[in-house]
A and B are shown apart, each in its own frame.
Chain A
Amino acid sequence: MKVTTEQIKHVAELARLKLTDEEVKSLNMEAVIEFADKLSELDAEQIAPTNHVSDIYNVFREDVEVPSYDRDDILKNAPAKARGCVLVPKVVE
């Protein structure tokens, strides 16, 4: 399967990766996809689709409140904070 430079740039953009033109060129994405495509050679016609690799289901919590973390602890790792909030560059959508 052919992977175009545009597709690589688009995926990089979605993942917020900055790639130089050299890096884009040097990426052998086709080999990666071919490797994954190997799976489609298998005949899975008779196998029921799995929604999860494990066969465990219905793992629930009861709706009971547990005290939250102290705000100072929650914000401890934030690179910037003010007024009890994490501070981020302004992004308005």
Chain B
Amino acid sequence: MNYESVIGLEVHAELSTNTKIYCSCKNEFGLDVNTSCCPICTGMPGTLPVLNKKVVEYAIKAGLALNCSITREGKQDRKNYFYPDLPKAYQISQFDLPLCTDGYVDIDVNGEKKRIGITRIHIEEDAGKLIHSVMGDESYVDFNRCGVPLIEIVSEPDLRSAEEARIYLETLKSILQYIEVSDCKMEEGSLRCDINVSLRPVGSDKFGTRSEMKNVSTLSGTQRAIEYEIGRQSEILDNGGVIEQETRRWDDAKGENVLLRSKEEAHDYRYFPEPDLMPIVVDDEWIESIRATLPEMPDVKKARYTGELGLGDYEAGIIVGNKSMARFFDKCVELGGNVKAVANWLQGDIMKVVKEQDITFDDISFTPEDLNELASIVDKGTISITAAKKVLAKMFETAEKPSKIVDDLGLAQINDESAIEAMVNDVLDKNPQSFEDYKNGKTRALGFLVGMVMKESKGKGNPQIINKMILERLEAYKNS
């Protein structure tokens, strides 16, 4: 039977605030275990949480970027469950009055625009980290992540394929990075998602029973996890079985999911209003002051690149998808650089070094002005592309001006036709056989001769001029 898949995502993003959500401990990944902890985030009795204002602002900022309504009177609630990574035995979250509701995000599915609804965005605290001992029967608890602020972004069940879900997640990631509320480093767990999947016969408008999948923490994993789950459910339905409402855990290494909890074992969170925290009241003035901090959104930026700047869809997508690259590129454009050439350099040779050195475009040692200058001296024919690559490598090392590097390394291209002609004459005199070869149809004689002249010029002769000059001479001989 043919099924349509119905998919909804719950995305957790850690906010990049300086401090935790309810205490002033540092919010940073990778610190030594239990060194960013205090009585509040470790859930000691008698402590009182105080909400970090920035968390509210970041959540509202995300809400505005995702076209949500902002809740004027919100509150926080306790979600109760026992697990060793949660020292209070409850997580402070938001139940019925999340900060943002009813938004949407437009995604681009192979050239077609699709609107995905955002049900809600709420704030909550992250739990700690358990390190399970491999041999023994104990676990080590690191509370550093306890109280790290999170936003949970819940989508409507509007996604219809694993690919759409992956694109949605990529889009969300790039928006959150653009508005600088989360670094969204999936490898550090700062962006994670739970996935709801159900199937229904094509043409049906009733939803099937859904399963929930936890522990998905890579973009490719998202797509594979959904494809796996669609396969699993189709097989059950095809064999006349029934889908159980259950929670499953994705195992990325094995590429399969396993049952975590059945419906009977489902958690009973017993939410109730958090008495230790006061309501959050948001007025127009506050919302507008947050709106004023929103930068150009990725889809608007991409439209500007493909429209005004005339970049191709693919290359515009690559630049927009990398925030620091886009920042560097925008600066180059603002300073009047050659748009296409700069875009090529950034995505090609510069990207390669950035990846190799594991840095961002913000950390590059030279400036957008320098890159514009490099593109411009190539445009003027002062240096060849091959020489320009050498200059670029030097720019990474020394951060010197391209023109100075060209002078220092003596890379300036020889464009003087009389100088080139002398070299061409010399090479042709030494290789009379090439004229015969060319006449007899061996066209590679041309390449050979151009190579010889390039060698003669120590790589500095303008290859276009050399090529043209030799071709004229060979053709003249052939037709004589």
Contacts and interface: CB of A to CB of B under 8 A. Distances in A.
Interface stretch (A19-27, A37-45, A66-74): A66-74
Majority-rule SS of A interface residues: loop
B33 A52 contact: no
B52 interface: yes
Contacts of A74: 34, 37-39, 42, 143
Contacts of A65: 18-19, 24-26
A67 B346 CA distance: 41
A9 to B, nearest CB: 13
State which size class the interface on A falls in.
Answer: 35 or more
B33 A84 contact: yes
B56 interface: yes
B19 A75 contact: no
Given A51-B97, A89-B137, A84 B279 contact: no
Majority-rule SS of B interface residues: loop
Contact of B51 (A14, A59, A69, A93): A59
Interface string A47-67: 000011110111111111110
B281 A69 contact: no
A19 B111 CA distance: 61
B137 A63 contact: no
Contacts of A54: 278
A52 B51 CA distance: 15
A16 interface: yes
Interface stretch (B267-275, B422-430, B463-471): B267-275
Contacts of A93: 83, 260
Residue of A51, A84, A88 ringed by the most chain B CB atoms within 10 A: A51
A36 interface: no
Interface string B125-163: 000001111001111111100000000000000000000
30 contacts: A16-B82, A51-B75, A51-B279, A57-B281, A59-B50, A60-B50, A60-B53, A61-B51, A61-B52, A63-B19, A63-B52, A65-B19, A68-B25, A68-B26, A69-B39, A74-B38, A84-B33, A84-B35, A84-B142, A85-B140, A85-B141, A85-B142, A86-B141, A87-B140, A88-B139, A90-B133, A90-B137, A91-B84, A91-B130, A93-B83
Interface of B: 17-19, 24-26, 32-39, 42, 50-54, 56, 73, 75, 80, 82-84, 97, 130-133, 136-143, 260, 268, 270, 273, 275, 277-281
